[in-house]
Structure 1
């Protein structure tokens, strides 16, 4: 998430990191002032989707896969032209081990 935020920012732009905890979970946030166009928003978690010429399209896909399938968390984002974009990684502070990973949505 941090790498994508840095790559999507112009030189000199600020990228902020935040971490907080509440309700038995920890939430990591990466924010930059860029806006994600609607057509990109709809595909951003798809495997092999990239807006970069040399991109492989595995960054957001693999982050979501790891968080949701193996860490019992979730990854999501908000974006607006006024407020920029924030990606969130939300993980439980505790979970019960299961025989199999959680299903992907």
Structure 2
């Protein structure tokens, strides 16, 4: 399946929240959030920092979990185009995850590049 520029092999994607997503326009990132609403072509996520992001979905993607991880390309500071989604279940602690995102973007950024 062609993911239109999605990373392959051992490539890593920076973990972002809404606050940091805008710095990655045009790049592939990992974004975790709670599903607020979804339709066949779009999903609205509340990110780990409590903000709203729009996801342009792949056809047939399963959003049957409260919390999901989306790997995709950042189109602008509000929108990500999904390449792949992973269900994280209904009991995922977004507050703790956001602390991890903040550390991965600052003090320990060198470990995630």
Q: Same fold by TM (over 0.5)?
A: no
Select the structure that is richer in strand: 2
For normalisation by structure 2, the TM-score amounts to 0.26
Return the index of the structure with the highest Cα Rg: 1
For normalisation by structure 1, the TM-score amounts to 0.27
